Amino acid sequence: MTAPADYPNIRTLLSLEGKQAVVIGAASGLGQASAIGLADCGAEVICADLNADGARATAEVIAGRGGQATSLGSDLTSTADADALAEQYAGADILVVTPGFNVRKRLLETTDEEFDRVIDINLKGTYRLMRSFGRKMAERGRGSIITFASFRAQVVEPGQSIYAAAKAGVVQLTKTLASELGTTGVRVNAILPGTFATALTTQIKNDPEWWTAYETKSALKRWASPHEIAGAVAFLASDAASYVTGTTQLVDGGWTAHDGRFEPSL
């Protein structure tokens, strides 16, 4: 039996040629890896970050790999910046919001200021950008918004209270916007990274016992490198994911599927 004549070529669907992607947090870590991965798939990438020099460096890396990229400084804690960015790149096909900030303290030791900071960057910053770009994409009738939550939206440990709450909020914002924009041609999905070796996990890396415990917890029993996030981002950004919206894509090495505390002899 042959495939129906109207079946598209999956390689064509996975290509991002002709698409414009705005990546927030592109200066380093998972944002940088996402930007490079999208450019490798053919997208023109706008690298945005509070660290404008870092965003420029990422754009230069992309150019050195034969891709197309520009850069600019942008503050996701500013509604004015979010609105201006969405206006400047009103034709963007893809939005990726990656920044994260964590304060690892037991809840009873946290302060109002720490709570406000974690929420403003992780949750409200994502909200601002989803709202600004979502409006533009809905008007055009197309687009893919990819938010970054965390596996901590699902599983926690002592010291993760505010961060986990913020990332769980990102998941719910993502599901809600996917529901609201479903008939407009705009898809909205969340990626939930697990243990990736980035600046956000420097505190853990500086504690060998903590680092090793995390290393052995997942099914793969290792930390992830930043580039390993790019495949999930590229898929959700592409037309190959045309029927995927409102989802939470775990990229956690099997952490949440695998209880790594003990392996019985069976």
Count Cβ atoms below 10 Å from residue 209 Cβ, excluding itself.
Answer: 8
Rounded Cα–Cα distance for residues 191 and 158 (Å): 23
Alpha-carbon distance 104 to 257, whole Å?
Answer: 24
* Dist CA 147 CA 164 (whole Å): 15
Please say whether the beta carbons of 128 and 147 come within 8 A. Answer: no
How far, CA to CA in Å, does 165 sit from each of 77, 123, 197, 250? 18, 9, 22, 17
Question: Can 163 be counted among the known catalytic residues?
Answer: yes
**Residue among 7, 163, 214, 243 flagged as catalytic:** 163
Closest CA to 245 of 196, 166, 165, 189: 189
Q: 28: which 2 tokens?
A: 């380093």
Q: Which residues are catalytic?
A: 163
